[in-house]
Amino acid sequence: MRLSELTHPNQLHGLSTAELEDVACQIRERHLQVVSTSGGHLGPGLGVVELTLALYQTLDLDCDRVVWDVGHQAYPHKLITGRFNDFDSLRQQKGVSGYLKRTESRFDHFGAGHASTSISAALGMAMARDCRGEDFKCVAVIGDGALTGGMALEAINHAGHLPNTPFLVVLNDNDMSISPPVGALSTYLNRMRHSPPLQFISDSVQESVKNLPFMGGELPEELKSLKGSMRRLAVPKVGAVFEELGFTYIGPIDGHDISQMVRTFNTAHRVGGPVLVHVVTTKGKGYPYAEADQVGYHAQSAFDLRTGKALPAKTPKPPSYSKVFGQTLVKLCEQDRSVYGITAAMATGTGLDLLQKAVPEQYIDVGIAEQHAVTLAAGMACEGLKPVVAIYSTFLQRAYDQVIHDVGIQKLPVTFVLDRAGIVGADGPTHQGQYDISYLRAVPNFTVMAPKDESELQRMLVTCLQHDGPAALRIPRGSGEGVPLMEEGWEPLKIGRAEILSEGNDLLIVAYGAMVPPATKTANILNESGIKSTVINARFLRPLDQALIHPLARRIGKMVTLEEGTLSGGFGAAVLESLSDHEIQIQTLRLGIPDQLVEHASPDQSKEALGLTPEQMAERIKQKFGWNNTKSIVSNKTSPQSVKN
């Protein structure tokens, strides 16, 4: 069967194993061709090609439900659910999304992007089914990395307690998260993977049997049979933990053997009650480079399919914010043994892999466990350590209660570095770092800041670490501004003090973080029309530099705020509230992300769609303040006083 003709997954029904294997080859070919051209997740999808085909041969996707955890591994699913022809547009503006979306296909039963949600969602569907007295299958497919997330464990706790709710969890165990998985559960899965399917003698049980007084040396003949029966008693079945929690455990099985999986899934569907099928797969299967470097090929930018090497960037770029952060933290950890870097399974993304290599004893990876990461840091701070929690803006959403309840309320000195804050591009709405300004603004006792460039990032990190209270800074995705960097000896900033970058009497532009360089460009464009701006780098969202902003706002009378975040409750809202609280009434414009989702596209395309390029912002400012036809504006106001920082 030609993959291009496969528009409904039920067309897989009745295909022989050999035919399914042929479809698997075609899926890999198309998957590799598209990801190597436009970038995207590579290893996760290649690893589940056979799993997807085998599972779908046992399901009727017109009525059965499948929830893929994260959704980054679901490209094979997309290719057999009607998106083959559009697949070239993967992750591009208006193209096929990199994750699953209920609005994209009726076969995407649940949208995701964040990890560990699948078991809860599929269980919810199963309970709704039972409530309505209907009969269809509900399946969650979850990776071994995502299984360690708190939500997945909460859902297992719930599902295992519902013996009469038929429900299937497929554990896609490739012994990998983005980086190698960490933790006790991961070690447990690893032992299961390398055990014969039926009997499993755990090391601890072996150890305890050996240590019994009569078990150590040569046994007297009459005790030998007793030892045998004790062993049988003591030896738990593979998957005992899941069995103890109320699941029927089946596995481990080979996740690249289609016929074995079809047989197993059919058996699992007949069990009734919660079932977990443990499938062992190889991340990157079928593409040797991806199999050999599973961390590097988790997700890729465009690359040469023959060599596996990334295509060189057209112009050399300055180091990324994440890298500068990672390098700076290494230095700070070397200088102070009480500083620790904490990641929740995102070592490479956050730059903490540099710390892992350089100072491993001050590096902690907790796995996909953002909530735990935050409260762990709170506990460490209680005992005098200086934890730095590096989490993407979007993933810290999951730990909001911990941020408030464990850190904010107790005023503990924990530093948060929110990476990928702002528009992230091809990952789309689930990954945009657009809410952190709003959600951190409200948390008690927090100091919140954002650097205008990577050099200021270094100073802010030191500022946070020296501050006796919770502090957060946000950095954008991608390259810095290319400014010179200091190797060490960074000066902390004065908390709550903003910086004037340029002076003019027609307009006050107050920008936050990554929007500072575009603010300067916008001011330059306005200047060409004779509109003179005072540009402020706000530096701090909380506390806001009212002492600087208020008098300037009063005198200039027209103000624009710029932020790369949602406008609802954002930076501009903070400035306006503070003006309003002080009875300062002036003309204002807030530029940022309006109350809407930012779909996948390149960051530049998204900014353009939102009217946030310097040219567009200059135009919007002119329109707002009635300067459309202004060739030249003669200012007769006095110049604002500059402020030393």
Q: Which residues of the shown chain bind ligand TPP in the complex (CB under 6 A)?
A: 44, 70, 72-73, 114-115, 143-146, 174, 176-178, 283, 345, 368, 370, 395, 398
**Whose Cβ is closer to ligand TPP: residue 36's or residue 430's?**
430
Residue 624 is a catalytic residue = no
Q: Are 346 and 178 in contact (CB under 8 A)?
A: yes
Q: Are 422 and 517 in contact (CB under 8 A)?
A: no
Catalytic residue of the set 50, 370, 456, 563: 370
Q: Are 76 and 55 in contact (CB under 8 A)?
A: no
CA distances from 632 to 506, 527, 529 (A): 11, 9, 5
CA atoms within 13 A on the CB side of 72: 27
**3-state DSSP call for residue 513?**
helix
**Whose Cβ is closer to ligand TPP: residue 399's or residue 574's?**
399
With tokens 């290719």, the residue in question is 79
Cβ neighbours for 312, distance < 8 A, ≥ 6 positions apart: none
Catalytic residue of the set 101, 137, 285, 398: 398
Query: What DSSP element (H or E) covers 511?
Result: strand 507-511
**Whose Cβ is closer to ligand TPP: residue 346's or residue 465's?**
346
Q: What residues are paired with 278 via a beta bridge?
A: 171
Q: Minimum CB separation from ligand TPP for residue 92, in Å?
A: 20
CA distances from 527 to 530, 531, 638 (A): 5, 5, 17
**Whose Cβ is closer to ligand TPP: residue 58's or residue 177's?**
177
Q: Minimum CB separation from ligand TPP for residue 525, in Å?
A: 38
**Whose Cβ is closer to ligand TPP: residue 78's or residue 331's?**
78
Q: Minimum CB separation from ligand TPP for residue 111, in Å?
A: 13
Q: DSSP for 58-71, please give it.
A: T--TTT-EEEESSS
CA-based torsion, 254, 256, 262, 263: positive or negative: negative
**Whose Cβ is closer to ligand TPP: residue 32's or residue 548's?**
32
Torsion, Cα 222 227 229 230, to 10 degrees, reads 140
CA distances from 255 to 46, 141, 564 (A): 11, 13, 43
Q: Minimum CB separation from ligand TPP for residue 432, in Å?
A: 13
Q: What residues are paired with 559 via a beta bridge?
A: 508, 588
Residue spans of beta strands (DSSP E) within 54-102: 65-68
Distance CA 200, CA 111 (A): 37
- Of the candidates 152, 75, 78, 90, the residue with the CA atom closest to the CA atom of residue 115: 152
Residue 398 is a catalytic residue = yes
Distance CA 367, CA 148 (A): 7
Query: Which position's Cβ is nearest ligand TPP?
Result: 143
Residue 337 is a catalytic residue = no
**Whose Cβ is closer to ligand TPP: residue 44's or residue 557's?**
44
Q: Minimum CB separation from ligand TPP for residue 378, in Å?
A: 19
Query: What DSSP element (H or E) covers 78?
Result: helix 75-79
**Whose Cβ is closer to ligand TPP: residue 144's or residue 564's?**
144
Distance CA 418, CA 403 (A): 13
Cβ count within 10 A of residue 210: 9
Give me the long-range contacts of 439-443 (CB less than 8 A, separation at least 24). 439/397, 439/400, 440/403, 440/472, 440/541, 440/542, 441/541, 441/542, 441/569, 441/570, 441/574, 442/569, 443/403, 443/404, 443/407, 443/408, 443/470
Catalytic residue of the set 78, 83, 91, 283: 283
Q: Minimum CB separation from ligand TPP for residue 115, in Å?
A: 4
Q: Minimum CB separation from ligand TPP for residue 562, in Å?
A: 29
- Burial annotation 529-564 (CB, 10 A radius, 16+ → b, else e): bebbbbbbbbbbbbebbbebbbebbebbbbbbbbbb
Q: Minimum CB separation from ligand TPP for residue 43, in Å?
A: 7
**Whose Cβ is closer to ligand TPP: residue 176's or residue 526's?**
176
**Whose Cβ is closer to ligand TPP: residue 349's or residue 614's?**
349
Q: Minimum CB separation from ligand TPP for residue 169, in Å?
A: 13
User: For 274, phi and psi rounded to 5 degrees?
Assistant: -75, 130
Q: Minimum CB separation from ligand TPP for residue 136, in Å?
A: 25
| Residues identified as active-site | 283, 370, 398
